[in-house]
Chain A
Amino acid sequence: MKDTVSQPVIEAKGLNLVFQTADGPVQALKDVNLTINQGDFVSFIGPSGCGKTTFLRCIAALEHPTGGTLIVNGMTPDEARQKRAYGYVFQAAGLYPWRTIAGNIRLPLEIMGFPKAEQDQRIERVLELVELKGFGKKFPWQLSGGMQQRASIARALAFDADILLMDEPFGALDEIVRDRLNEEVLKLWARTGKTIGFVTHSIPEAVYLSTKIVVMSPRPGRITDVIDSPLPKERPLDIRDSREFIEIAHRVREGLRAGHHDD
C-alpha cells in the first residue's frame, strides 16, 4: 500500500449529513467529494457552520454520514477507528487533570495494550518530538496553554497512526505561540510523513501549512474550491511575504467570499 506516494487514504463520494434538530433537519454536509492522498497536508477552511469540523468528525467516525460513501484506509471510518488508524487533536488540549503529561500520553498506549517498556520509549520519543522533554512529570494545569496543546499533539502521535486529524488545534492560542506551533507542525509532518487533516478559520495558517486547501461554505455545508498549493515543502515563516503565498491567500479569500454570496 505504502510504496506509491499518491495512494488515496481518504475518499469521500457524494457525502451527505443531515442532523435532526428541534428546529427541523439541518444539512451539515451536502454532496462532498474529496480525495486525500498519502502524505497530504490538507486544510479545511470556511466560516463557522460550513461543516469543516463535521467532515473531520465523519472521517474519525465521531459523526455518521446519512448519505454517500466515505472510505478511510480502504475501510469504513468505524473500522478504521477500531484499527486506530488516526490520532485526533481537538481545539482544547483535553488532557486529563489527574494524570501527568507523561501519564496522559500513556493513556492511549494503555488502552491499545502496548507493553510497558514500549510505552515508556514512545512517551520519551514524542515528548522530544514536540519539545516537551523534561515536562513528563508535570501536571497539565502546571503548563501554559501552548505547552498543553503540544502535549495533546504528542498524545495523538504516540501510537503512530498514519493519519493525524487536527480540529482548530491552535484556535485558542495567541498569534506568537501559534506561529511557533505552525512551524513545529510542519517540521513534524516533514519528519513523519503522516497524512494530516487540519481544520482552521485562519487563511494564513491554511496557506502556510497545506499542500491542499479545501474551501468550504455554509448552509448547506459544501466544498466550493480545492486549491493545490504550489509552495515548496520547505517553508520558512517569511514565505508568507512571497508573491505566490499572497496569490493563494487571495484565491482562498475569493472562494470564501463567493460561498457567502450564495446565501
Chain B
Amino acid sequence: MTALWLAITVWLAAWALNVRLAGSGIAQTRLGRILVPLIFGVTVLVLWEGLVRGLNVAPVILPAPSAIAAKIATSLPVLWQDFAQTILKGAIPGFLIGAGAAFLTAIAVDRSPFLQRGLLPIGNFVAALPIVGLAPILVMWFGFDWQSKAAVVVVMVFFPLLVNIVAGLQASDRMQRDLMATWGASYWQSLLKLRLPAAMPFVFNGLKIASTLALIGAIVAEFFGSPVYGMGFRISTEVGRLGLDMVWAEIAVAALAGSVLYGLISLIERWVTFWHPSQRH
C-alpha cells in the first residue's frame, strides 16, 4: 500500500508544481513549454506504477511501466526487427507510394471534369471499405511479406490524400486566378506558381492524417498473415501467450514512431507553409 500512497503524494505535489509553473512567467519560456508537459508525463508514469503495485494489478491486465521498460531493454533486437519490418518496409514505402499516386491522380482529376465527377464518388466508396475486409484480400494478392502491408497502406492513405489535394487545388481565390489569366499564364505555369503553393496547407493536413493511418494499416494488416516477425504479428501472438509486457513494448515503439513521423511532417509543413496564418508566429 505504501507504493500507492507514495504515488498519490508525488502526483499531488507534481500537480501543485505544474499549476504554479503554468501560472508563472516560466511557462512562456522555451524551458517552461518543455518542462510542464514533461512533469505531467512523468507524473502519469509514477501514478501508473504506484497504482499497479499498490493494488496488486495482474500483469496480464496492466503491467507496470518499469516492467515494460525492462522488457524493452531486454528485447531490443526483436523490437528493432519488428520495427524495420512494419514501419520501414510496410508503412513508410506504402505512405510514399500512396502520397505520390494521390498527387498524380489529383492533377489528372483537376484536368478532367469527367474524372472529377466519376472518380471522386468511387473514391469515397473505396475509402469507406473497412480495412479488416481489405487486408486479407491484399495479403492473398501480394503475399505474406511487407509488400502486402505496403499495399494496404497505399489503399488507406490514397483517398484521404486525394480528397485533400483536390480541395487544395481549388483553394486559390478567384482574383488570384484572374491575375494569372491577365498575364496570359499557361495551365502549368498557373499550377506551379499559384495553385500548388496555395494547396500546401491542405496537402499537409492530408499528410498528417495519412501518417497515422499508415501506421494503423501496416500493423493491422499483419494480423491477417505475415512472416514470423513484425509489430502486428508480435502483438497478436504475444496476446495469445499472455505476454502483455511485450505487447505494451510494441505499443510504446509504435507510439514513438507515430510521433516522430507526425513531428517530421509538421516540421516540413512549418517550413513550406510559413506564410499561412496558422504558421505565423
Residue ranges of A at the interface with B (Cβ–Cβ < 8 Å):
60-62, 81-84, 86-88, 90, 92, 94, 96-98, 107-108, 110-112, 139, 141, 159
Nearest neighbor of A156 in chain B, beta-carbon distance: B182
Nearest neighbor of B272 in chain A, beta-carbon distance: A98
For residue B125, CB closer than 8 A to chain A, the reply is no
In the complex, A87→B183 CA distance in Å? 8
**Is B182 touching A86 in the complex (CB atoms < 8 A)?**
yes
Residues of B within 8 A of A111 (CB): 180, 183-185, 189, 193
**Nearest-CB distance from A88 to chain B (Å)?**
4
Among A92, A97, A98, A112, contact of B175 (Cβ-Cβ < 8 Å): A92
Nearest neighbor of B180 in chain A, beta-carbon distance: A111
**Is A81 touching B175 in the complex (CB atoms < 8 A)?**
no
Residues of A within 8 A of B280 (CB): 141
Residues of A within 8 A of B189 (CB): 111
**Nearest-CB distance from B203 to chain A (Å)?**
13
- How many A-B residue pairs have C-beta atoms within 8 angstroms? Tell me: 51
**Is A112 touching B183 in the complex (CB atoms < 8 A)?**
yes
**Is B193 touching A110 in the complex (CB atoms < 8 A)?**
yes
Nearest neighbor of A93 in chain B, beta-carbon distance: B175
In the complex, A107→B198 CA distance in Å? 15
**Is A98 touching B185 in the complex (CB atoms < 8 A)?**
no
| Residues in B169-208 with C-beta less than 8 Å from chain A | 173, 175-176, 178-185, 189, 193-194, 197-198
Residues of B within 8 A of A61 (CB): 181
Given contacts A81-B181, A112-B183, 5 further A-B contacts (CB under 8 A): A81-B182, A84-B184, A94-B176, A96-B197, A98-B197
In the complex, A78→B204 CA distance in Å? 37
* Dominant SS among interface residues on chain A: loop
**Is B175 touching A139 in the complex (CB atoms < 8 A)?**
no
**Is B193 touching A88 in the complex (CB atoms < 8 A)?**
no
For residue B276, CB closer than 8 A to chain A, the reply is yes
**Is B193 touching A87 in the complex (CB atoms < 8 A)?**
no
Among A60, A90, A96, A141, contact of B194 (Cβ-Cβ < 8 Å): A96
Asked whether A62 and B193 contact (CB < 8 A) given A81-B184, A139-B275, the answer is no
**Is A97 touching B276 in the complex (CB atoms < 8 A)?**
yes
In the complex, A112→B185 CA distance in Å? 8
Residues of A within 8 A of B173 (CB): 94
Nearest neighbor of A81 in chain B, beta-carbon distance: B184
| Residues in B254-281 with C-beta less than 8 Å from chain A | 273-276, 280
**Is B275 touching A82 in the complex (CB atoms < 8 A)?**
no
- Considering residues A61, A81, A98, A141, which has the most beta carbons from chain B within 10 angstroms of its beta carbon? A98
**Is A62 touching B197 in the complex (CB atoms < 8 A)?**
no
Among B178, B180, B275, contact of A90 (Cβ-Cβ < 8 Å): B178
**Nearest-CB distance from A25 to chain B (Å)?**
22
In the complex, A77→B173 CA distance in Å? 23
In the complex, A111→B188 CA distance in Å? 10
